[in-house]
Amino acid sequence: MKIGVTQIILGNMSIDDTIDLCRAAGYQAVELTFRDGKDIHVDLDDDHIRAVAKKFYEADIEITSITALKGSLLSSDSSERVEAAKSVE
């Protein structure tokens, strides 16, 4: 078993900052969250996704899962919550 962190709790932390956090905390694994407004988002092309994977590989941090969210389930805007809910159905 590897000790890691899920990016969903890290807010808008960038990929580079996430890697720095993992190194500092001794995390060996990460669960990535692709979402709007972040440096990794659901519309990334294959080359950019491979570049993200390479960064974690070179840092010796295993990507154990990936999730993608559109919008925010916690938004005060009900229409945004509805759209976000559709993305996880």
pLDDT in tens, 13-24: 999 999 999 999
Model confidence at 69: pLDDT above 80: no
User: Alpha helices, DSSP H only, in the chain?
Assistant: 15-25, 46-58, 78-87
CA–CA separation, 54 and 89 (whole Å): 30
Q: Give the H or E element holding residue 30.
A: strand 29-35
**Predicted TM-score of the model (pTM):** 0.79
Which structural domain, as residue segments, surrounds residue 23? 4-87
pLDDT grade, residue 43 (50/70/90)?
Answer: confident
Model confidence at 89: pLDDT above 80: no
Model confidence at 30: pLDDT above 90: yes
The identity of residue 22, as a single letter, is: C
Task: Give the relative orientation of helices 46-58 and 15-25 as an angle to the nearest 10 degrees.
Answer: 20
The tally of domains found in the chain comes to 1
- Report the share of the chain in percent with pLDDT over 90: 60
